Structure 1
């Protein structure tokens, strides 16, 4: 194992795969040998019709093995959706497209055998879509979203090791392998993104290749990703769809809070792209460098002579930008996996050094004094005798079960039973993976208004044969109460959350109050029918408050009253939290997180649901009876997972954000429902 790794990074091939491999072979013969090649941007180029992917196509030749790479290559998604045959091969092989060609996940992390951590964020940024997504966007979508970013940030807190001493790169593509072990730091050595970070040109005196560079593509979420991961090298494909990819290498800059860690930023031109209009020449498209892994004992890196201030932490007006850098949070925006509220840097434990335990601290798992219990590497390993509740096999937790990530007919994640794609009617893929939905509007025709969800397809209507009736814990005259799939409160895996604030309510206690009749929101219920439904809903809320109190907890109730042509089914989610978390703290948490995301929450003095004339609303009932409300605005996206996002952060369990990752076996769900019913029976207002 050598002390340094020699890497060649290249710009977008844009479909010129054979020519790129020939150039890589020539460069490797003259300047190599390279350990690996990182291919940024669009490797396959713009999408084609399905019938254009024939044997003569270079992408197909790569997939069938007739076109070979001279050096191990790692490619990413650029600004376009990936070809369907590529997605299909990725799903079957977990990322290996050919003998020496591997596709990085859209939000992937890999660790080389040398110990280098390489992170990748594929796709392009759209501020209107970023927070609106309800599910992760796959390779059939050109966009990355807040959920993509959250997955990447959570992956940076994991580390993988090579499968064998002879393996150059460890397995990194499956979620199970990514979560196999826990890292003590989110820092990465190399970051690959297709989108520029906001503010990267600030404090730089290097001439820009274009007056608009790179303001047409700069994204604050990518800047926050840089602040969180502090990459030693950050490569961007350059340009995107709005301008010709251009080469630009910024002066290095340092991170004072990481022992002077040095970062370098490089934008690459495209190998297979067009020439620059002003010069008629192609931009520089490759960058070779050597890098050595860092260890805790590595000496502090000398500050480069040409280094500048850090553009991501120092307040300034970035060159070419019209707005000032947002102040008030030196760590950048907090995504769901970070702290929601920060009032300045401080130690995790009073008296300890930044990120290190104080004197006398010992990890309760392995008794080591060098790390906190949440950072213990043994925490990610099941104890001897542990059996996964889903596949009944040992060796992994339920959250890492490979059967949870089966693929659908288009290569994306397989939907749960009862899901129907609204674009084509298939039950075998999500709409973001649908080939019909991904086609341009002109090629598939006008689809008309969204199809309204019928009661027999609604997840909450009792008439739906696929309704999870085993989770229902109480049925009244107008409403019923059910445990949700993948509830926030861990019941069979609480030991996996040693820092979580887990209430001791039997069965978990996270429930939904659902009107039996099908209405989109509580506000849309006709006035002459609303009174008994609302009255019974409030009775259930009161009963749950008394029930939780017996276990030293109190409730947070919230409703997303989102009106849409597709419809939906009104329901209120009620989650118990420990009484040690006061109503004022809960209110402050929601308001602070809402402000960060552009969601203006205000105290509402009215009673009952918001008026039916509103487009939609989000409402929170605090434990002390006060109420917060946000009125949804036309054209402004709102994530239906906002309430869950805040609560999992409040309970210090951000890994419980994705309900699908928290799903249990039917056996465990039935046990939770039975435990809840037996304890709730004396409070049930319908009995």
Structure 2
């Protein structure tokens, strides 16, 4: 059993000489490497950078017009095209598929046939595109089921993708049923300003080390996890939650509806006052049954006279996963009163419309509503933004529940009441307030509790509507604030909301 030191990099033909010079310096300082793998969008046999002093180099090209499998350019440089499996003399086996997304579906049969011929254990998988579960996990609107099938078949120890040329992404390690560990990384292009080269050690020999220590940050296998979301943090020992903005559902949802899900206790719920880690510096108002807090990683941004993001959450103080309006009318009325007060503040004080998003599910942990101010001129574009995301959800994210939204004209309509008062219904809902006086428009889509839902759906729709694509993920560097910034935001919000705060008039 030996270890191989490997470097993976992403460069373009135009930057090859400069990038290779930097690779040489890295090899001198941190090497020597046993293998260097370079992905390049477009190169051919004339692509021959100066590789003197470097170890074996595999150059993988995504030039879709070149269908050759492999070609030795010189003594230590091999050029790989399209797709295939390449075994090195030291025992490392690398599999590659460089087709762009538009060619994957066209070539699906050929791709799967090609890789079904081999029973080799794959150490490294290189693809241009990402698979769907990991793509959805980090808030991307792309991904291929063909890559999913390939990842599940090959179960490579390292999977490198290159379609995002601007951002480095590394997923925590995860396990397959065979106990084999896998890691996924996206490597951006040289010149992006991000980490364009990645070095690692890999054991090479008859078999991988079975008794090597398990990394402390192993996560659930994303290819077997039925919930599609990008944000995850532990809530209690042995239990994880996936978070969208501040929406949490158990990550270990049973594939079998009869399998019980571990209950999250109030002391471990990020919305409950009994949790010692409650971020109370973000609280705006506390009523008898409900409290109001600013959003972690807000979607909206200050605009015009509004010097706050305005993105906030209405949260019941009681630890309830789902609101039953028929049995808890007082709580439902209190939530709606908070909602109305925020709509009034946004419209009267800041000349803004409001959209409220919620998920009602028996598998939720703590029910809440997200309230987001919207410029009035954008309200008329809401339907097209919703239709667009429904299309992505239903056509591209094929694991998700198929959504179809029904429009209701008011909270008091009989048809709407019949849906929300039926406790067997689980649903996603948008409430669109153009003004503070007119009846809102309510868009509601039901789903089965056993179905997968995209917890980021509401945020995706509103990020597109607001033209804020970089703010889809609440925990992105674009959205996250320091504790001081969060405190200032809450104080400004509290000051703006004071004249509308219903907790000041509650008995």
Distance (whole Å) between structure 2 residues aligned to residue 153 and residue 635 of structure 1: 34
Question: Any gaps of 5 or more consecutive residues in structure 1?
Answer: 11-22, 45-61, 78-100, 109-118, 145-150, 160-171, 183-406, 425-430, 492-501
3-state SS, counterpart of residue 663 of structure 1 = coil
Q: Summarize deviations over 1:228-261 as a string: whole Å, max 9, x none.
A: xxxxxxxxxxxxxxxxxxxxxxxxxxxxxxxxxx
3-state SS, counterpart of residue 482 of structure 1 = strand
Distance (whole Å) between structure 2 residues aligned to residue 42 and residue 547 of structure 1: 61
**1:455/1:648 Cα in 2 relative to 1: closer, same or farther (>3 Å)?**
same
3-state SS, counterpart of residue 409 of structure 1 = coil
3-state SS, counterpart of residue 514 of structure 1 = strand
- 2:318: which partner in 1? 517
- 1:604: which partner in 2? 408
3-state SS, counterpart of residue 5 of structure 1 = coil
3-state SS, counterpart of residue 652 of structure 1 = coil
Q: Summarize deviations over 1:614-652 as a string: whole Å, max 9, x none.
A: 330011111131111111136543212111000001111
- 2:351: which partner in 1? 552
**1:174/1:130 Cα in 2 relative to 1: closer, same or farther (>3 Å)?**
closer
**Aligned pair partner of 2:382 in 567, 571, 586:** 586
Is 1:535 the counterpart of 2:333? The answer is: yes
Distance (whole Å) between structure 1 residues aligned to residue 77 and residue 443 of structure 2: 58
Distance (whole Å) between structure 2 residues aligned to residue 153 and residue 9 of structure 1: 11
**1:9/1:654 Cα in 2 relative to 1: closer, same or farther (>3 Å)?**
closer
Q: Is the 8 A contact 1:556 1:621 kept in 2?
A: yes
Q: Is the 8 A contact 2:313 2:370 kept in 1?
A: yes
Q: CA RMSD in A?
A: 5.1
3-state SS, counterpart of residue 667 of structure 1 = helix
* CA positional deviation for 1:454: 1.6
* CA positional deviation for 1:559: 0.7
Q: Is the 8 A contact 1:514 1:570 kept in 2?
A: yes
- Using the size of structure 2 for normalisation, the TM-score is 0.54
Distance (whole Å) between structure 1 residues aligned to residue 443 and residue 79 of structure 2: 53
Q: Summarize deviations over 1:549-579 as a string: whole Å, max 9, x none.
A: 2223211001111222xx4111111011112
Question: Any gaps of 5 or more consecutive residues in structure 2?
Answer: 1-15, 18-42, 49-57, 62-68, 99-121, 154-159, 169-183, 195-214, 221-229, 242-247, 395-402, 435-439
Distance (whole Å) between structure 2 residues aligned to residue 414 and residue 580 of structure 1: 31
Q: Summarize deviations over 1:415-448 as a string: whole Å, max 9, x none.
A: 5474654389xxxxxx9xx9xx89xx9xxxx994
Q: Summarize deviations over 1:307-334 as a string: whole Å, max 9, x none.
A: xxxxxxxxxxxxxxxxxxxxxxxxxxxx
- 2:497: which partner in 1? 680
Distance (whole Å) between structure 1 residues aligned to residue 231 and residue 429 of structure 2: 32
**Equivalenced residues, count:** 339
Distance (whole Å) between structure 1 residues aligned to residue 356 and residue 161 of structure 2: 30
Distance (whole Å) between structure 2 residues aligned to residue 411 and residue 595 of structure 1: 30
Distance (whole Å) between structure 2 residues aligned to residue 682 and residue 102 of structure 1: 62
- 2:11: which partner in 1? none
**Aligned pair partner of 1:655 in 450, 456, 470:** 470
- Using the size of structure 1 for normalisation, the TM-score is 0.41
* Matched ranges for 1:447-462 at <5 A: 448-462=259-273
Q: Is the 8 A contact 2:129 2:163 kept in 1?
A: no
Distance (whole Å) between structure 1 residues aligned to residue 274 and residue 406 of structure 2: 37
Is 1:563 the counterpart of 2:344? The answer is: no
Q: Is the 8 A contact 1:461 1:516 kept in 2?
A: yes
Distance (whole Å) between structure 1 residues aligned to residue 125 and residue 233 of structure 2: 25
Is 1:28 the counterpart of 2:28? The answer is: no
- 1:482: which partner in 2? 293
**1:616/1:546 Cα in 2 relative to 1: closer, same or farther (>3 Å)?**
same
Q: Is the 8 A contact 1:556 1:576 kept in 2?
A: yes
Q: Summarize deviations over 1:464-517 as a string: whole Å, max 9, x none.
A: 1122211111111111111121110246xxxxxxxxxx5653331100101111
**1:505/1:621 Cα in 2 relative to 1: closer, same or farther (>3 Å)?**
same
Larger strand proportion, structure 1 or 2?
2
